Structure 1
């Protein structure tokens, strides 16, 4: 007796029903799952096609629930290795079986020798330098060679400077220099009414026309540009 092979839509529908998703959760889940199956299972999307989504909403609206449903679809197709789940802080790692941004991308934060003005080091964002070691270039490439999608949770804790550094780190890891995030699809998840970034400016911070040209301001401008690349935004309310 032959085993029935389910179509992609049947798999997605079965997982969505199993997780008992509400209307808006279904919309987000289907957008992510349909894109992933079309590009990486059926392979009928252009190589440079990217999903750059913000999934937002207050606590309790099921953002992590949707992530787990997406993981289930990927596991069905044996493609779980194609997506990475990152969070800004260690306290949120266990929720989605992920890793902190800095550890996985090889980003290090180093305090400078002197603080800004007469303040002690660490008082302002300018007192820190972000380092990506060239020595871990090969390691980054090896760890990211098969990764095609990135889900970044707790987005309120991600600043403009950090999102610029994520893009920069992926330049080391992937070999598609003409694409933002080097062609990696990225899904931001979180609630902007929660905590602000400890280091850096919130992603919605406007850039002043009179901003300076120091490294911090340049990073802010780059991060702001990257943030404007979103092509899908879903606000969960139930």
Structure 2
């Protein structure tokens, strides 16, 4: 275990392999332009990598050239070797598929830099572009490739063939017709209240549609459980003061969450509803961005609840919680 490090570009992927995210290791924010400062004799860095001989990087398609260049620089410094030696002499194993997800705010590993060293405007390459070309040269030194040919993700032969054609950008009319069978409103999806569609994930292309679907599902499930609907109310402020005017409060609460940093004004809760974390809280514990959980209970003080109608979306008997203390969420631990 001391000889191997496991990294991944996202918290979910890192948790599944019992590793950490590349950005956490680098000690940098995802979009930060400031490189990690490496001081001579950094004992902590040297201790981290002193015995390491193998580095496993999962989900390689989401790793960009800029990020890979930073990783190479850190490893070379930690191993005290010539910067021209790739990854400080550590064996690097990449897992994944180039044609999955593109890296966020970065250049893909397969980018071709065969053009001249100057831009069309005659300007020299920037430091970032130079580092990306250096990282690309590291990728070109990969000397052993294993291709997995057996599909393990699905037993549906027709769907597997669709995925293979989709990967190559070569779908046909039959593939399109197969996907149409999963579109709401088609005969194959008569009602979202019927099984298995009442538990199926739904893809929505607009935030407003997604919010309405979630609200309707919460109201429906509350009725099924004979549970009084409960809605958490956002605490909006104007010039650092709480908005107390009821008319203005309702107007602000009705704003699309695309205008409020993706935070809804009214958030319904029903025991047993699925939730998802949107931040990395503790990667080592599996509390990471994208992990699913189950809402169990909203804890609040009795005097923070009202039944004043704030939206026509929810029934008249809805409880509106204005200052909740915390929510109890059940999250299954990963089996590593």
1:179/1:227 CA distance change after superposition, 3 Å:
same
Q: Higher RCO, 1 or 2 (CA under 8 Å, sep at least 6)?
A: 1
What is the aligned-residue RMSD (CA, Å)?
1.9
Note the alpha carbon deviations across 1:41-82, whole angstroms, 9 max, x for none: xxxxxxxxxxxxxxxxxxxxxxxxxxxxxxxxxxxxxxx210
Deviations along 1:193-236, one digit per CA (max 9) or x if unpaired, are: 21100021000011132444111211111111111110001111
Q: Which residue does 2:28 correspond to in 1? A: 108
Alignment of 1:1-238 (within 5 A): 80-104=1-25, 106-109=26-29, 128-135=32-39, 137-177=42-82, 179-207=85-113, 208-209=115-116, 210-211=118-119, 212-238=124-150
CA contact (8 A) 1:110 1:131 kept: no
Alpha-carbon distance between aligned partners in 2 of 1:168 and 1:227, rounded to the nearest angstrom: 15
CA contact (8 A) 1:107 1:130 kept: no
How far apart in 2 are the matches of 1:199 and 1:180? 24
TM-score where L is the length of structure 1: 0.55
Structure 1 gaps of 5+ residues are 1-79, 112-127
More helix per residue: 1
- TM-score w.r.t. the length of structure 2 is 0.40
* 2:6–2:57 CA contact under 8 A, matched in 1: yes
CA contact (8 A) 2:77 2:88 kept: no
Runs of 4+ in 1 over 3 A off after TM superposition: none
Partners of 1:93 and 1:100 within 8 A in 2: yes
For 1:81 and 1:150, how far apart are their aligned partners in 2? 11
Contact kept? 1:109, 1:131, Cα under 8 Å: no
SS of the equivalent of 2:93 reads strand
- Unmatched segments (≥5 aa) in structure 2: 151-336
Inter-partner Cα distance in structure 1 for 2:105 and 2:130: 15
Pairwise CA distance, 1:110: 7.4
* Maintained 8 Å contact 2:5/2:52: yes
Does the residue aligned with 2:145 lie in a helix, a strand or coil? strand
Give the whole-Å Cα distance in 1 for the aligned partners of 2:77 and 2:87. 10
Partners of 1:102 and 1:110 lie apart in 2 by 6
- Distance, in Å, in 1 between the alignment partners of 2:61 and 2:15 is 18
